[in-house]
Amino acid sequence: MQELIDRIRSWEAKSQVLEPEQEVRNKTLSRVSNYANAFLNTLPEAKTFVSSEEMSDRFDITGRPHSIEEILNIYRKEIAEKGINAASGGHLGYIPGGGIYASALGDFLADVTNEYAGIFYASPGAVALETALIDWIKTLFSYPSGAVGNLASGGSIANLIALAAARDKHRIKGDKIKKSVVYLSAQTHHCVTKALRIIGLEDLLLRTLPIDSHFRIRPEALTETIAKDRELGLNPFLVIGSAGTTDTGAVDPLFEIGTICQQENLWFHVDAAYGGFFILAESAKHLFKGIELSDSLVVDPHKGLFLPYGIGAVLVKDREAVFHSNRAGADYMQDAFREDLPVNPADLGPELTKHFRGMRMWLPLQLYGTEPFAACLEEKLDLTRYLRIKLADLGFSLGPEPDLSVTYFWMDRGTESDAFNQHLLKLIHDDGSSYFSSTRVEGKFVIRSAILSFRTRISSVDSAIALISDCLVKTQKHFEKIS
Ligand X SMILES: Cc1ncc(COP(=O)(O)O)c(C=O)c1O
Q: Determine if 95 is a binding residue for ligand X (CB under 6 A).
A: yes
Report how far residue 483's alpha carbon sits from residue 465's, in angstroms, rounded to the nearest whole number. 26
Which of 185, 246, 433, 475 is the binder for ligand X (CB under 6 A)? Answer: 246
Q: Which stretch binds ligand X (CB under 6 A): 83-91, 149-157, 347-355, 373-381?
A: 149-157
Which of 156/433 has CB closer to ligand X? Answer: 156
Q: Determine if 241 is a binding residue for ligand X (CB under 6 A).
A: no
Report how far residue 394's alpha carbon sits from residue 213's, in angstroms, rounded to the nearest whole number. 24
Give the ranges where 199-335 is alpha helix by DSSP (H): 219-231, 254-264, 301-304, 319-326
Question: What is the x/- site pattern for ligand X, positions 44-83, by CB under 6 A?
Answer: ----------------------------------------
Which of 154/399 has CB closer to ligand X? Answer: 154
For the chain, the 3-state helix, strand and coil shares in percent, each to the nearest 5, are 50, 15, 35
Report how far residue 371's alpha carbon sits from residue 51's, in angstroms, rounded to the nearest whole number. 37
Report how far residue 116's alpha carbon sits from residue 301's, in angstroms, rounded to the nearest whole number. 21
Which of 242/344 has CB closer to ligand X? Answer: 242
Q: What's the min distance (Å) between Cβ of 309 and ligand X?
A: 7
Enter the DSSP assignment of 307.
P
Which of 107, 271, 318, 347 is the binder for ligand X (CB under 6 A)? Answer: 271
Q: Determine if 154 is a binding residue for ligand X (CB under 6 A).
A: yes
Which of 137, 226, 273, 348 is the binder for ligand X (CB under 6 A)? Answer: 273
Which of 344/407 has CB closer to ligand X? Answer: 407
Which of 274, 373, 435, 436 is the binder for ligand X (CB under 6 A)? Answer: 274
Q: Which of residues 294-333 bind ligand X (CB under 6 A)?
A: 300, 312
Q: Which stretch binds ligand X (CB under 6 A): 254-262, 270-278, 286-294, 423-431?
A: 270-278
Give the ranges where 292-354 is alpha helix by DSSP (H): 301-304, 319-326
Q: Residue 43 in contact with residue 459, Cβ under 8 Å?
A: no
Sign of CA dihedral 402, 408, 413, 417: negative
Beta-carbon contacts of residue 276 (< 8 Å; ≥ 6 apart): 141, 243, 244, 288, 297, 298, 299, 300, 304
Report how far residue 168's alpha carbon sits from residue 162's, in angstroms, rounded to the nearest whole number. 10
Q: Residue 267 in contact with residue 236, Cβ under 8 Å?
A: no
Q: Are strands 437-441 and 444-450 parallel, antiparallel or unpaired?
A: antiparallel
Cα 250 to Cα 89, 185, 214, 379, 436: the distances in Å are 23, 11, 7, 18, 19
Q: What's the min distance (Å) between Cβ of 182 and ligand X?
A: 15
Which of 344/384 has CB closer to ligand X? Answer: 384
Question: What is the x/- site pattern for ligand X, positions 374-403, by CB under 6 A?
Answer: ------------------------------
Which of 246/460 has CB closer to ligand X? Answer: 246
Q: Which stretch binds ligand X (CB under 6 A): 44-52, 231-239, 266-274, 328-336?
A: 266-274
Of 81, 163, 108, nearest to 432 by C-alpha is: 81
Question: What is the x/- site pattern for ligand X, positions 104-143, by CB under 6 A?
Answer: ----------------------------------------
Of 271, 321, 287, 280, nearest to 155 by C-alpha is: 271
Q: Determine if 35 is a binding residue for ligand X (CB under 6 A).
A: no
Cα 280 to Cα 273, 402, 432: the distances in Å are 14, 18, 32
Size of the site for ligand X (CB under 6 A): 14
Paired with 298 in beta bridges are 271, 314
Q: What's the min distance (Å) between Cβ of 342 and ligand X?
A: 27
Which of 93, 99, 106, 155 is the binder for ligand X (CB under 6 A)? Answer: 155
For 114, phi and psi rounded to 5 degrees? 50, 55
Which of 312/345 has CB closer to ligand X? Answer: 312
Q: Residue 152 in contact with residue 158, Cβ under 8 Å?
A: yes
Which residue has the CB atom at the shortest distance from ligand X? Answer: 155
Q: Which stretch binds ligand X (CB under 6 A): 16-24, 166-174, 271-279, 353-361?
A: 271-279
Q: Which stretch binds ligand X (CB under 6 A): 35-43, 216-224, 242-250, 360-368?
A: 242-250
Q: What's the min distance (Å) between Cβ of 197 and ligand X?
A: 15
Q: Which of residues 184-203 bind ligand X (CB under 6 A)?
A: 189, 191
Which residues in this chain contact ligand X in the complex, by CB under 6 A? 95, 154-156, 189, 191, 242, 244, 246, 271, 273-274, 300, 312
